[in-house]
Amino acid sequence: MKPLAGKTAIVTGASRGIGRAIALQLSRDGARVVLTARDQALLGTAVAEIREAGGAAVCLAADLREPEAAKAVAQMAVETFGGIDILVNNAGATKRGEFEELSDEDWQDGFALKFFGAVRLTRAAWPELRKGGGAVVHIAGSGGRTPGAQFAVGGSVNAAMLSFTKSLAETGLRDGIQVNCINPGPVRTARLETRLARIAAENSVTRERALELFLAQEKIMRVAEPEEIAALVSFIVGPNGRSLHGSLIDVDGGTTKTI
């Protein structure tokens, strides 16, 4: 018996990177998955891969910065699969840069998708999650605990996600809903590959050497794979992870130095 058999999961930012890996992992573990992101073509490819492996999945291309998008995603899950048991709020990337060069629009956009998108979708899914003792997992980031000069927007957004997790966990105690947050550090995604390519070009070194320089600069052990984050999500929402509640879990190769 697969550990998530009979469960329905929503995964945001599911067209690529960490979100895509999470959607595939939850499906392998038996969940029916609703994937959402802005890129319809990439979503379709992920859904096709899930179905070819024998899983059940649908997708909805949506911009969660739009106030009504969250309701549409939750409604699709209920109409297609009969409910919502798992919600993974993964969508959202923020702009890096020097503080003085970041505009109001940069700040507003950073919060619009990752924070307010998660708030709206959690609110839309909450009544269904409450029916069956469901689970919410936020994917924030190590910058919420250890922000840097280039990560003013992202650090602030992620810190808000951490606070939101703790507050929501209190409500979850009342309603029987598990709430946790994962803080990834650097993960091998297209965004990281772009950074490594820039380091290689700036230093006239190979990509392998660029990775070594990156690890030394960030003072971390290694770069994580998206599948590692996905495996942790599946564990948390599965039968062996239900004692985790209100947890802020760092998966960052040692980025976070504080207690």
pLDDT tens column, 8-55: 999 999 999 999 999 999 999 999 999 999 999 999 999 999 999 999
Does 256 reside within a domain?
A: no
| Residue-wise pLDDT tens digits, 178-202 | 999 999 999 999 889 999 999 999 9
16 shares its domain with 137: yes
Residue 218 structural domain: 189-223
101 shares its domain with 212: no
**Domain at 31, CATH number:** 3.40.50.720
Q: Where does the pLDDT of residue 147 fall: very low under 50, low under 70, confident under 90, or very high at 90 and above?
A: confident
For 80, the token pair is 């297609």
Does 206 reside within a domain?
A: yes
217 shares its domain with 155: no
75 shares its domain with 193: no
| Residue-wise pLDDT tens digits, 70-94 | 999 999 999 999 999 999 999 988 9
Does 170 reside within a domain?
A: yes
Total structural domains in the chain?
2
Q: Which of 214, 219, 217, 225 is nearest to 257 (CA)?
A: 219
Does 50 reside within a domain?
A: yes
Does 212 reside within a domain?
A: yes
13 shares its domain with 93: yes
Does 231 reside within a domain?
A: yes
User: Rounded to two decimals, what is the model's pTM?
Assistant: 0.95
